[in-house]
Amino acid sequence: MKKNKLSDIKLEQLKEHETDNSDQALTTNQGLKISNNQDSLKSGERGPSLLEDFILREKITHFDHERIPERIVHARGSGAHGTFKINKSLAKYTKAKFLSEEGKETPVFVRFSTVAGSAGSTDLARDVRGFAIKFYTEEGNYDLVGNNIPVFFIQDAMKFPDLVHAVKPEPDNAIPQAASAHDTFWDFISLMPESMHMIMWAMSDRAIPRSYRMMEGFGVHTFKFINEEGKIHFVKFHFKPKLGVHSVAWDEATKISGKDSDFHRRDLWEAIENGAFPEWDFGVQIIPEEDEHKFNFDLLDPTKLIPEEEVPVELVGTLTLNRNPDNFFAETEQIAFHPGHLVPGIDFTNDPLLQGRLFSYTDTQLSRLGSSNFHEIPINRSINTVHNNQRDGHMRQQIVKGKVSYEPNSIGGGCPFQAMWKDGGFTSQEERVDGKKIRARSQSFVDHYSQAKLFYNSQSEPEKMHLQNALIFELSKVTIPAIREKVVGQLAFINKDLAALVAKKVGVDVTKLKQPNGSIPADADSK
């Protein structure tokens, strides 16, 4: 593994916390050597255990608190360390150093995940896969918290808890545990036309990857690049696997799940152990600021992608995973991603789904990791040292010297100062925002079917058959006929033949469907 300085810094930082237990005497957490790890302290050989047995108490207490809450979504995941290399400078578009200095290598940690299942669920569920990357840059951590599908189910963060409550096991009986076929999910989908594009992807082979090494990664939302001159470009992020995109068939997925529910986890681990390092090309779609409104959809709408025929993906970097974690819990479980972890040169857009995400991640991590100091956990630490006036809180590690922890101050005493923009200080990109306060959605978000049609029509005949079979399988498990009817009604807006086929197989009588709730519209595109 070729290392550069930044990778060395991260490795050294992690090494400081490594412990090798081999050939060491067993100790308590206070460093006291333990002479008997087999028996508790008792009153007589057959007597009761004594409360004073502080060694037993410490051991059991720590065990009792081993579990932390699993992630509310994306609980099941696997991660690895690696390197990101920029092969072609993006300095024209962004001043982010890790993207603008050609040849620069940046250490990363990547976590792949399913969305709906619990931490012990199968890797092979039909589901979206998370593709989250933490770049340890010299300007601070940058997180790209993406998925393997380029669009999302909903347009506004307001709907996220509803979506997740619909897809997770039902509250009364906690069935089904895997993300497959149930009334609540399809009920929600049938009432949410904006989900139709994503449903096409989620019912396609994309939702059952052969391996984490063989799936694409997408930033999904449109982000902004800002260059040294302050000029803006919109950007979509892509990762394309060097091994190509491959999936398994549903029949294979169910068999694999039964035999080895760690299939993806094992595949990633073994590939890295064997030196077959997974690699992706990193690419960008760049849109000049002045072209924001030239598309027939809104760049802020996360249910839309930018067709590559309209804006080609320029490949400019390589992501390589080359080291397995030493400890799953310390690294893969405790890593905390957040779309709001930015570096100068990259900014958000007003995508209303992304805006809600900016609140959600730190909020959830406060309860998942249990302290406002989780940025001090080794895997979460920036390689750029942290200096600010935040202090105290549960489990604080940093020992900040000096009398003063406020700013401005005239005493000095080791207080950090604000960095100017020219010295790498982050400034939010200035944008004119005016309008009336309103709880609404833009009219530019209303076309829910054009890209769903494009996706369905882009599938080869075998892929179409898999997609049709997935819909038939899923809907055949829905127990409420009205839900099946509404979904068929939605499919009819995408492709009449698809809707008719699914209707026939799941017992929906299309002649009885009533407008507007799903009758097959005469103008549906059947191509």
Residues tagged in the binding site annotation for heme: 71, 111, 160, 357, 361, 368
Report the nearest approach of ligand HEM to the CB of residue 145 (Å).
5
Report the nearest approach of ligand HEM to the CB of residue 353 (Å).
5
User: With respect to ligand HEM, which residue has the nearer C-beta, 95 or 224?
Assistant: 224
Whole-angstrom CA distances from 325 to 18, 25, 109, 122, 320 are: 12, 25, 9, 21, 14
Report the nearest approach of ligand HEM to the CB of residue 245 (Å).
18
- Smallest CA-to-CA distance from 399 within 407, 391, 408, 409 is with 391
Rounded Cα distance, 296 and 444, in Å: 9
Looking at the DSSP bridge assignments, the partners of residue 129 are 114
CB-nearest residue to ligand HEM: 130
First and final C-alpha spacing in the chain: 50
CB 317 within 8 A of CB 282: yes
- Smallest CA-to-CA distance from 84 within 129, 130, 138 is with 138
Active site residue 147: yes
Looking at the DSSP bridge assignments, the partners of residue 347 are 224
User: With respect to ligand HEM, which residue has the nearer C-beta, 130 or 344?
Assistant: 130
Active site residue 448: no
What secondary structure, in 3-state letters, does 17-37 show? CCCCCCCCCCECCCCCECCCC
User: With respect to ligand HEM, which residue has the nearer C-beta, 78 or 211?
Assistant: 78
User: With respect to ligand HEM, which residue has the nearer C-beta, 18 or 363?
Assistant: 363
Q: Which of 141, 147, 148, 324 is catalytic?
A: 147
Rounded Cα distance, 501 and 374, in Å: 51
> Per the omega criterion (within 30 degrees of 0), is the bond before 352 cis?
no
User: With respect to ligand HEM, which residue has the nearer C-beta, 14 or 73?
Assistant: 73
CB 320 within 8 A of CB 83: yes
- According to DSSP, residue 113 is labeled E
User: With respect to ligand HEM, which residue has the nearer C-beta, 127 or 205?
Assistant: 127
- Other C-beta atoms closer than 10 Å to the C-beta of 396 total 14
Report the nearest approach of ligand HEM to the CB of residue 63 (Å).
23
- According to DSSP, residue 70 is labeled P
Longest dimension (CA), the chain: 87
CB 337 within 8 A of CB 134: yes
User: DSSP 3-state helix, strand, coil percentages of the chain (rounded to 5)?
Assistant: 30, 15, 50
User: With respect to ligand HEM, which residue has the nearer C-beta, 74 or 238?
Assistant: 74
Residues tagged in the binding site annotation: 71, 111, 160, 357, 361, 368
Q: Which residues bind ligand HEM (CB under 6 A)?
A: 71-74, 77, 111, 113, 130, 132, 145-147, 152, 157, 160, 220, 335-337, 353, 356-357, 360-361, 364-365, 368
Q: Which of 74, 197, 221, 238 is catalytic?
A: 74
Question: Torsions phi, psi of 294, nearest 5?
Answer: -85, 0
The set of catalytic residues is 74, 147
